[in-house]
Amino acid sequence: MPEAHPDSKQTIQDNRDYTLFSWSAQAQTNPIHMVGGQGSHFFDGDGHTWLDFSSQLININVGHQHPKVLQAIKDQVDTMCFAGPSFATDVRAELGRKLAEVTGLAKSFFTLGGSEANENAIKMAKLYTGRDKIITRYRSYHGATMGSMSASGDPRRWPVEPGIPGIVRVFDPYMYRPPMGGSAEAWEDGCITHIEEVIQMEGPHTIAAMLVEGITGSNGLLIPPDSYYPRLRALLDKYDILMIDDEVMSGFGRTGKWLATQHYGVTPDIVTCAKGLTSGYMPLGAVIVNQKIADHFENHFLAGGLTYSGHPVSLAAAIANLKVYEEERLFEHTLEMGRHLGQRLEAMKAKYACVGDVRYIGLFSVLELVRDKATKEPLAPFNGTSPEMARLAAHIKSRFVYAYSRFNFLWVCPPLVVTKEELDHGLDVYEEALALVDEMIG
Ligand code: PLP
């Protein structure tokens, strides 16, 4: 058991007095004082051990404080802490080569995180094609910088509206709730024919790219039907529109593969990634482009890059992190744990009235909660909360399981190193919470 921190309450107060927390009205923040972690757990200032069922922001894939990643960071700090982005470095060469190998693409442009990766992907697509518009999906999140926030489709974009020009949005492969009504079977076809209609009405010659989350994460984990990506890829090819695959959340092992789109046998033109690239140990993102786009920038100016782009310590952390995935066979483990998780989620759906749908792939999963299974009325309104969702979250928290919930969704996304016992413990706590909700909606 970790020891209690002598000044934990004061530390929380100082955090609140002197810093601003993201995505919050400050008066409503209630931060946990985090003092350390190990594997699937982290420790708070009161001496409690928490099961991290959300891998922080669905990023700490190799778990907390993995010794091999820590050692690589220390070694790089001792060797060379900084090199400007125009210098050649050993780590830049090694990570670039590795990312080309695992994605099947050609060259990487390094960024500080996912939002900036999407900014640059949008910019590169526009520079490469000479076209202005980008298609995105309504239930997508692509980041919190100006361009990526306005490219997002969910309510998090509203504060920056009208945002950058040229964003055109389409509906999602949300098979539990087809956005235009009708059956899931009909929507499997409709969600592609609808995109073609939008392309034709916008003018194919004006559209540079379509930006999609490999598997939509923070808007309810939307797993497309198997035909979706092959059909989308063919559609975009028909009109010479690039496919940008945002794998910031769904990539790097979360679904048991390097990229979620690899489950569907398609290769995007551009991949953006961050989170699981370093498991959060250092800030890093990447835009990985195919050979044609890479060739274009041989003789065309690539306008972009920051002082810290390609930071050697971040690159060293990524290289070590990717080695951990392979050496510890973490993707295989993810798929094995994912099978168990899937069985338990299906059992929960059968047992609890409030579980309308469960969606899972690898260790990327969600429960979609409803008031009534027959009508599918959500347990909380879109972009809102409800007493039932608040009760659910409070119960899980009181049992020191750290969970991500939003609207009527409750995610299960533990680190990829999670054991079966840890997984079962967290799911048992979820079941206690679901039983409480069932009593409330009785
Ligand atoms: N894209 C997706 C799919 C994400 O889930 C996120 C963050 O959650 C981002 C982009 C933004 O990444 P970052 O927070 O590293 O800027």
115 Cα to the center of ligand 1, angstroms: 6
pLDDT at 6: 87
Contact 282, 311 (CB under 8 A): yes
Whats the size of the chain, residue-wise?
A: 442
Distance CA 282, CA 306 (A): 16
Instruction: Please determine, for the modelled complex, whether the ipTM score is greater than 0.95.
Output: yes
141 C-beta closer than 6 A to ligand 1: yes
pLDDT of 318 reads 99
Can you tell me which atom of ligand 1 is nearest the CA of 250?
A: 3
115: Cβ contacts below 8 Å, ≥ 6 apart: 142, 143, 144, 145, 148, 149, 285
CA–centroid distance, residue 142 to ligand 1 (Å): 5
Q: Give backbone dihedrals phi and psi of 200, rounded to 5 degrees, phi first.
A: -65, -40
Proportion of the chain above pLDDT 90, given as a percent: 99
Asked if the model's pLDDT at residue 4 lies above 90, the reply is: no
pLDDT reported for residue 3: 84
Q: What was the pLDDT predicted at 5?
A: 85
Q: Confidence class of residue 163 from pLDDT cuts 50, 70 and 90? A: very high
* Ligand 1 neighbourhood includes 115 CB (under 6 angstroms): yes
Could you tell me if the CB of 142 is within 6 A of ligand 1? Answer: yes
Q: Report the SS3 class of residue 342.
A: helix
pTM of the shown model: 0.98
Q: Ligand 1: which residue has its CA nearest to atom 1?
A: 142
Tokens of 362: 């690898």
Average pLDDT over residues 353-382: 98
Report the atom number in ligand 1 closest to the C-alpha of 247.
3
- pLDDT-derived band at 2, boundaries 50, 70, 90: confident
Q: Model confidence over 374-409: pLDDT tens digits?
A: 999 999 999 999 999 999 999 999 999 999 999 999
Q: How many CB atoms lie within 10 A of CB 108?
A: 26
Q: For residues 237 and 173, what is the distance between their CA atoms, to the nearest angstrom? A: 19
Which is it for the CA torsion 405, 157, 377, 180, positive or negative? Answer: negative
Q: Is the CB of 256 under 6 A from ligand 1?
A: no
Query: Which tens digit of pLDDT belongs to each residue from 110-149?
Result: 999 999 999 999 999 999 999 999 999 999 999 999 999 9
221 C-alpha vs ligand 1 centroid, how far in Å?
14
Residue 107 pairs in a beta bridge with 289
At residue 1, the pLDDT reads 62
Cα(22) to ligand 1 centroid in Å equals 13
Say what the pLDDT of residue 326 is: 98
Cis amide prior to 162 (ω within 30 degrees): yes
* Confidence bin at 196 (pLDDT 50/70/90): very high
Is the beta carbon of 274 within 6 A of some atom in ligand 1?
yes
**Ligand 1 pocket, residue 41 CB under 6 Å:** no
Nearest alpha carbon, ligand 1 atom 7: 143
Helix (H) or strand (E) holding 137: strand 133-137
Q: List the structure tokens of 242.
A: 């690039």
Query: How far is CA 302 from each of CA 81, 100, 109, 146, 291, rounded to the nearest angstrom?
Result: 26, 19, 10, 20, 15
3-state secondary structure 180-193: CCCCHHHHHHHHHH
Query: Quick one: which atom of ligand 1 is closest to the CA of 285?
Result: 15
* Residue 154 C-alpha from the chain's centroid: 14
Cβ-count burial of 29 within 10 angstroms (0-12 exposed, 13-18 middle, 19+ buried)? middle
* Main-chain dihedrals φ then ψ at residue 273, nearest 5 degrees: -150, 165
What is the average pLDDT across 353-379? 98
To test ligand 1's pocket by mutation, which of 138, 248, 282 has the most ligand atoms within 8 angstroms of CB?
248
Eight-state DSSP code of residue 4: P
User: Residue 240 to residues 9, 148, 193, 267: CA-CA distances in angstroms?
Assistant: 57, 22, 17, 15
Looking at the predicted structure, is the pLDDT value of residue 287 above 70?
Answer: yes
- Distance set, CA 41 to CA 2, 59, 162, 401 (Å): 11, 14, 41, 9
119 ligand 1 Cβ < 6 A = no
CB of 103 within 6 A of ligand 1: the answer is no
DSSP string spanning 82-110? ---TTS--HHHHHHHHHHHHHHS--EEEE
Helix runs in 213-270, H state only: 228-238
Q: Are strands 242-246 and 355-361 parallel, antiparallel or unpaired?
A: unpaired
Task: Give the CA radius of gyration of the chain.
Answer: 22
Calpha distance 438→61 (Å, rounded)? 32
CA-CA distance, 296 to 333, in Å (whole number)? 39
Environment class of residue 20 by beta-carbon count within 10 Å: exposed (0-12), middle (13-18) or buried (19+)?
Answer: exposed
CB atoms within 10 A of CB 201: 8
The minimum-distance atom of ligand 1 relative to the CA of 118 is 10
287 lines ligand 1 (CB under 6 A): no
Q: What is the CA(427)–ligand 1 centre distance, in A?
A: 26
